[in-house]
Amino acid sequence: MSKRIEAILFDFDGTLANTLPLIFHSFKALFKEFKNKEISSEDIVDMFGPTEVGIIHNHFTKDKEKAIRRFYELYKDKHPEFLHKTEEIEDLLKFLKEKDLKLGIVTGKGSQTLEISLDLLDIKNYFDVLISGDDTKIPKPDPEGIFKALDILKISPQKTIFIGDSDADIGAGQKADVYLTIGVNWISDYLQFNLKPDFIFKDVKEFRNLVEKELEMN
């Protein structure tokens, strides 16, 4: 009997790690250093969609390459200060791998910052596929990243759960016609949902319980 679910794909920022404060700090410092401009966290959220490099290309007219290098320095140097391993998340990933599920990340985050975070948090080994914003032409809510991940995994959307913390994630999951879309604010409630995912969870254990029930029905 085939499994009801075979793959779980995660967004990264705000879903697997509380990277938003680090991203906010890095961009605020960058804009201050290169443009002598104060920007708010809300301003940065409005820029979301492209990768970090894309944001810099969109908002900087000169010294773009220097600004990109500086952003990576800020992100990596401040990573230990702003971001720490989350035991609940790692326990969840261990549990899902023990259940022989394929795990992936589909994020708008650039590949270099994704690698920095995965390495420093030491969770890269849990994932079977990584799709960053550098791997897609169109950002979420377009489902391109989900389809790329599932093509690599050789798993259909109808046997996949997609998890994220924003409307862009839920929209991508719905457009890909995945089995379930899960909205989470278990790390940060900075972003609110206007779209309607199949479930919204504020606690990691709630999602784990859902997976256990789904697997029991296989």
What mean pLDDT, rounded, does the chain reach? 94
Q: Which of 11, 13, 165, 169 is catalytic?
A: 11
Residue-level pLDDT at 85: 83
User: Does the domain made of 7-18+84-216 have the CATH classification 3.30.1490.190?
Assistant: no
Could you tell me what percent of the chain has a pLDDT over 70? 97
In this prediction, residues 181-186 reach a mean pLDDT of 95
- Domain spans of the chain, in order of start: 7-18+84-216, 20-82
Residue type, 177: D
**Is the pLDDT confidence value at 70 over 80?**
yes
Residue-level pLDDT at 4: 85
- List Cα–Cα distances, 22 to 129, 172, 185, in angstroms: 24, 25, 17
* 150: nearest Cα among 123, 129, 175, 181: 129
pLDDT tens digits along 126-161: 999 999 999 999 999 999 999 999 999 999 999 999
**Is the pLDDT confidence value at 1 over 50?**
no
The dihedral built from the CA positions of residue 150, 196, 169 and 117, taken in this order, carries a sign that is: negative
Give dist(CA 203, CA 185) in Å, integer. 8
Residues 6+ apart with CB under 8 A from 206: 199
pLDDT band with cut points at 50, 70 and 90 for residue 218: low
In this prediction, residues 70-78 reach a mean pLDDT of 96
Residue-level pLDDT at 191: 62
Question: In the 8-state DSSP scheme, what is residue 183?
Answer: E
Annotation says 142 is catalytic: no
